[in-house]
Structure 1
Amino acid sequence: MSGRVLITAGASGVGFAMAEAFARDGWQVWIADVDGAALAAAPENWRKTEMSVTDESAVSALFSEIDATWGGLDALCANAGVAGPTAAVEDINLQDWQACVAVNLEGAFLAAKYAAPMMKAAGRGAIVVTSSTAGQYGYPYRAPYAAAKWAVVGLTKTLAMELGPHGVRANVICPGAVEGARMEGVLAREAAAKGMTRDQVYEGYASGTALGAFVEGRDVADMAAFLASDKARMISGQVIAVDGFTINPDPQL
């Protein structure tokens, strides 16, 4: 199957890898991102929108444009996320908490809110939400991130229940530690918070998995493309980890 896919935070990292995977499978790709420079550098044949997933008016306008341009949407990858603060819970201020939850949870909600009517009208569609292994095990020193990533699991399971009768599926991907610039920032902050070196934190993450390695963006992207395809036509409401099998969520503790 090929079709029309929207990927939020699609201009870099895991989102960009998702866009490449869908494009290879023959899908029409539309990416949305806050990073205008990264959008400009993306392939010219992808449609692109610069926006924040927390701006409801921008999200509404994007879906109106998708409907006018494509006449519908076959898959949504609600992938936007931010790491949020790295600190003990008593040291996290409410503003930082709210900013993290807004992108990770409310961004997914808004994308699903506007995708659902289009998919229900078509009688088919697939929603893939990016959570994290933090949404399965918790995450020391990352309370807002873990809370939001747990919440998107509940949101997606509810979407699967609500939209299933209309032929629409919804699933969650929980990546483990993904190689890349975003994770490097996490490693640096966690090293500072825990009094460790970057390499010690890195090795702790890797050794906490059965496969002893970090995930690459393409690993997550391939799962997203599969879940959106007809090969996964009877898979809905599932939480699928792409993490090398986490056996110890935080070996440093």
Structure 2
Amino acid sequence: MSESTDVFALPERLRVLVTAGASGIGRAISDLLIARGARVHICDVSDDFLAEFRGAHGDAGATKADVASDDDVSRLFAEVEKSLGGLDVLINNAGVAGPTGGVEEIRPEDWQRTIDVCLTGQFLCAHYAVPMLKSAGGGAIVNLSSAAGRFGYAFRTPYSAAKWGVIGLTQSLAKELGPANIRVNAILPGIVEGPRMTGVIAARAKQMNVTYEAMEKTYLDRVSLRRMVTADDVAATVAYLVSPAGRNISGQAIGVDGNVEAL
């Protein structure tokens, strides 16, 4: 790599799949990578968000698909092959917040749905993506975990368990796929501004019988920088990891969280 090379520039016509790419963190990732010249295909489960994305990015591919469904994921990758002609990067972003409650209160079906989307969905996407990445001569997978994948998280057991599982998936795949020149990393967002976090704080406030404002302060008091992060902060880290600047980063769990000290 010459001194004049911009190591932060994305490779030309980089082919990227972003799951749950039509809103929130996924939309921020998609928007940034498209702005930097990547060819992006997304999936999502929301017709409204998909329509909005298609309106903003008419040249990008978009598929309605639930990553917890093997049939949906198989169909998604057939459409990715058709629209992009291959794949260089998989961004495993899809997830759900899951239930808030004590372990004796959580319904088994809610536990299962959280694991299916947040963990099994990442496995399924990797299962179909890896042959395409190998055919491309290598590439990158970025899995979205959470600060909840580093700490135990009372009353959010299904979510935390799934996000811990993402770390294990990431480290295992990094070892398995490194010889094929495929880098695998996890990003661990903390308290991310937006409606999902608002809902989480509200549910926890109700669980603890305190006001929303008091619960929000409790969350922020456990962050060294005393502030939330944004979806754009996460997207910038993704762009770094899939650029040449990240070419020797693999098997890592990278916090983008203002340093969450506890949950």
Report the TM-score when normalising by structure 2: 0.93
Q: Does 1:16 align with 2:30?
A: no
Q: Does 1:6 align with 2:17?
A: yes
Q: Does 1:246 align with 2:260?
A: yes
Q: C-alpha separation between the residues in 2 aligned to 1:93 and 1:61?
A: 30
Q: C-alpha separation between the residues in 2 aligned to 1:48 and 1:68?
A: 12
Which of 67, 75, 83 matches 2:97?
83
| Deviant stretches of 4+, over 4 Å | none
Q: What RMSD over aligned residues (CA atoms) do the two structures have, in Å?
A: 0.9
Q: C-alpha separation between the residues in 1 aligned to 2:141 and 2:51?
A: 26
Cross-structure match for 2:6: none
Q: Does 1:142 align with 2:156?
A: yes
CA contact (8 A) 1:176 1:215 kept: yes
The secondary structure found in structure 1 opposite 2:104 is helix
CA contact (8 A) 2:192 2:231 kept: yes
CA contact (8 A) 2:39 2:84 kept: no
Q: Does 1:163 align with 2:177?
A: yes
Unpaired runs of at least 5, structure 1? none
Q: C-alpha separation between the residues in 2 aligned to 1:170 and 1:243?
A: 20
Q: C-alpha separation between the residues in 2 aligned to 1:105 and 1:73?
A: 21
Unpaired runs of at least 5, structure 2? 1-9
CA contact (8 A) 1:30 1:46 kept: yes
C-alpha distance after superposition, 1:154-203 (max 9, x if no partner): 00111111111001000000000100011111011101001111111111
Identity of aligned residues (%): 47
CA contact (8 A) 1:63 1:114 kept: yes
CA contact (8 A) 2:61 2:83 kept: no
Which of 98, 111, 114 matches 2:128?
114
AA partner of residue 5 (structure 1): V
Q: Does 1:226 align with 2:240?
A: yes
- The aligned runs of 1:86-101 (5 Å cut-off) are 86-101=100-115
Q: C-alpha separation between the residues in 2 aligned to 1:192 and 1:114?
A: 40
How far off is 1:66 after superposition? Answer: 1.5
CA contact (8 A) 2:63 2:79 kept: no
Q: Report how many residues are paired.
A: 249
Report the TM-score when normalising by structure 1: 0.96
Cross-structure match for 1:195: 209
How far off is 1:225 after superposition? Answer: 1.1
CA contact (8 A) 1:13 1:217 kept: yes
